[in-house]
Amino acid sequence: MPTRIQVVEKILTANDQLAENIRKQLNSAGVFAINIMASPGAGKTTFIIKTLEALHGRLRMGVIEGDLATSIDADKASAAGLPAVQINTGGECHLDAVMVAGALPSLPLNNLDLVIIENVGNLVCPINFQIGSHMNVLVASIPEGDDKPYKYPGAYRGVNALVISKTDLLPYVPFNMDYFRKGVEILNPGLITFPLSAKTGTGMDAWADWLVSKVKSWKTNL
């Protein structure tokens, strides 16, 4: 058991070192990167596409899509007219720094302000692997239930912003927002949160405005 722990520590240390190099590369190009995580079916891809639409003309964007096998999500981003790279993990439940480092050369970084990285749908593994992003965002959907912060504390503890998606379903799905927010606040006090519906557009402007402000402020302070 001690030997196994040492091996895991070495793997994570090597990954973190590479992630730091990725972040330096992005900094040098003036590109802000966000890592978007969620469980399968949370509406992550739809949310990203709607985000790209809301940011059109405001930021120059590229996309890295992580998935187990298909290129469906990257195809959607490309159809929206954006540079996109697909990472197929071959069964791995998360992206890591090696995968992201391999994808970056396919993006025109010098012509971008923002790279959105869609991680593999999973609430356990992705948060444990740094990938060089400047910010971690978690998408939690109403149909998942209001107990997810209590069941997956690591995912909620390690993010910089929270999106509560599919709020248009609140009238039809049992979901105690106060109970949910209490669980989030215990794990991540003061976490900025955006309740929204990508389907109806409600709340998307607030999210887009905040993200534009975040990227511009970061670039100013580089």
Q: State residue 157's pLDDT score.
A: 95
153 exposure class (CB count in 10 Å sphere: 0-12, 13-18, 19+): middle
Q: State residue 9's pLDDT score.
A: 59
Percent of all residues in the chain with a pLDDT value above 90, rounded to a whole number: 79
The model's confidence at residue 11, banded by pLDDT at 50, 70 and 90, is: low
The model's confidence at residue 4, banded by pLDDT at 50, 70 and 90, is: very low
Q: State residue 72's pLDDT score.
A: 57
pLDDT at 10 over 80: no
User: What is residue 124's three-state secondary structure?
Assistant: coil
5 exposure class (CB count in 10 Å sphere: 0-12, 13-18, 19+): exposed
CA end-to-end distance (rounded Å), the chain: 43
More confident residue, 80 or 205: 205
Q: What contacts 8, CB < 8 A, 6 or more positions away?
A: none
Q: State residue 7's pLDDT score.
A: 46
Q: For residue range 193-210, list pLDDT tens digits in order.
A: 999 999 999 999 999 999
pLDDT at 67 over 80: yes
pLDDT at 5 over 50: no
The model's confidence at residue 73, banded by pLDDT at 50, 70 and 90, is: low
Domains annotated for the chain, with CATH where assigned, are: 2-213 (3.40.50.300)
State the average pLDDT for the chain.
91
pLDDT at 1 over 60: no
Q: How many CB atoms lie within 10 A of CB 199?
A: 15
**Cα diameter, the chain:** 53
pLDDT at 21 over 60: yes
Say which range, 48-57, 81-90, 174-183, has the weakest mean pLDDT: 81-90
Q: How far apart are CA 211 and CA 8, in angstroms?
A: 34
User: What is residue 176's three-state secondary structure?
Assistant: coil
